[in-house]
């Protein structure tokens, strides 16, 4: 199946951009802020919380970094005024991390202050390895201003267990994901089962220390295994949530978890960088190609039947 998905990735660039948009749209929550906020409101009505991400990263100028920071800042205002159950999940390279520490720190403090103003939450996404240590440093700087800030650890990274060990406590808020960036094999696990094992260890360590853990995965084996462990160890529902990407077909599993009183947060990417995001994510996570091509095939057969 992995080989088939990799082959499908090679096909996708030959489809017209407008055609791809039709089938990528389930995974992208709109282009404009209003489109995205409407999607968030609908997800809230279905019982889901949301994490919002403006698509893009690695800005080239301070002007771009400031514009993105201001846009995120206004989103906090909109979330509050519309009474939405949503927070922000940002990439530090999108607000100037490549432009120098002072630039990104200044923009991060603006967003941290805005989150504090609205008593909301701010998540710092974890990007590829050159940024890991600095992201943790900036996370600690933000915590000095406001205690409702979280971070992400990636299960395929060798260092993540050490990072969880040093960071986790009763006030720590961490999303645990597998990791999607292409990295040197000296610093990541490339064995699927080993990544799963490390993922489980990370989640357990955080929960056992009283941390709040976002279990971010589409791997139903991991979800089921960890949910059983959580129940067997009497972990309170206020200490964790499950997180999935908008559009991934997991309705049955999500509805079951919601019915049993668990918090589910949908990660909602949006914006006019949807095409670059889609192609890049497909290359990093070939399984997504299977989802999209499956939708394309279904539509084609429906049209011609």
* Angle, CA 211 vertex, CA 194 and CA 104 arms, to 5°: 85
Mark 60-94 as b/e (b = at least 16 C-beta within 10 Å).
Answer: eeeebbbebbeebbebbebbeeeebebbbbbbbbb
C-alpha distances (whole Å) from 63 to each of 68, 103, 230, 267 are: 9, 11, 45, 27
**17-24 vs 287-304: helix axis angle to the nearest 10?**
100
- Supply the DSSP symbol for 215: E
Q: Decide: 182 and 282 in contact? Cβ < 8 Å.
A: no
With a CB cutoff of 8 Å and minimum separation 6, the contacts of 137 are none
Beta bridge partners of 151: 174
Tokens of 64: 């771009």
Positions annotated as catalytic residues are 125, 175
């Amino acid at each position: 199946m992995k080989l088939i998905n990799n082959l499908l990735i090679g096909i996708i660039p030959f489809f017209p951009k407008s055609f791809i948009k039709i089938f990528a749209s389930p995974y992208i929550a709109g282009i404009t802020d209003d489109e995205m906020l409407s999607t968030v409101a609908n997800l809230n009505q279905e019982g889901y919380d949301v994490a919002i991400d403006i698509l893009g990263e690695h800005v080239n100028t301070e002007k771009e970094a400031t514009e993105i920071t201001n846009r995120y800042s206004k989103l906090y205002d909109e979330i509050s005024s519309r009474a939405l159950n949503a927070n922000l999940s940002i990439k530090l390279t999108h607000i100037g991390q490549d432009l120098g520490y002072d630039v990104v720190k200044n923009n991060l403090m603006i967003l941290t202050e805005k989150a504090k103003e609205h008593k909301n939450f701010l998540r710092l996404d974890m990007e590829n390895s050159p940024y890991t240590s600095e992201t943790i440093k900036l996370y600690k700087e933000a915590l000095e201003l406001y205690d409702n800030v979280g971070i992400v650890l990636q299960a395929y990274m060798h260092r993540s267990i050490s990072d969880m060990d040093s960071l986790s406590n009763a006030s720590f808020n961490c999303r645990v994901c597998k990791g999607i960036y292409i990295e040197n094999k000296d610093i990541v696990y490339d064995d699927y089962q080993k990544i799963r094992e490390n993922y489980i260890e990370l989640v357990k360590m955080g929960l056992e220390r009283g941390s709040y853990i976002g279990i971010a995965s589409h791997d139903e084996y991991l979800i089921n295994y960890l949910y059983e462990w959580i129940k067997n160890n009497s972990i309170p529902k206020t200490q964790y949530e499950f997180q999935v990407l908008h559009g991934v077909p997991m309705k049955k599993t999500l509805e079951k978890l919601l019915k049993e009183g668990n918090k589910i947060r949908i990660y909602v990417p949006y914006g006019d960088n949807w095409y670059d995001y889609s192609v890049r994510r497909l290359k990093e996570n070939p399984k997504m190609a299977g989802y999209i091509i499956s939708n394309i095939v279904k539509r084609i057969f429906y049209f011609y039947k």
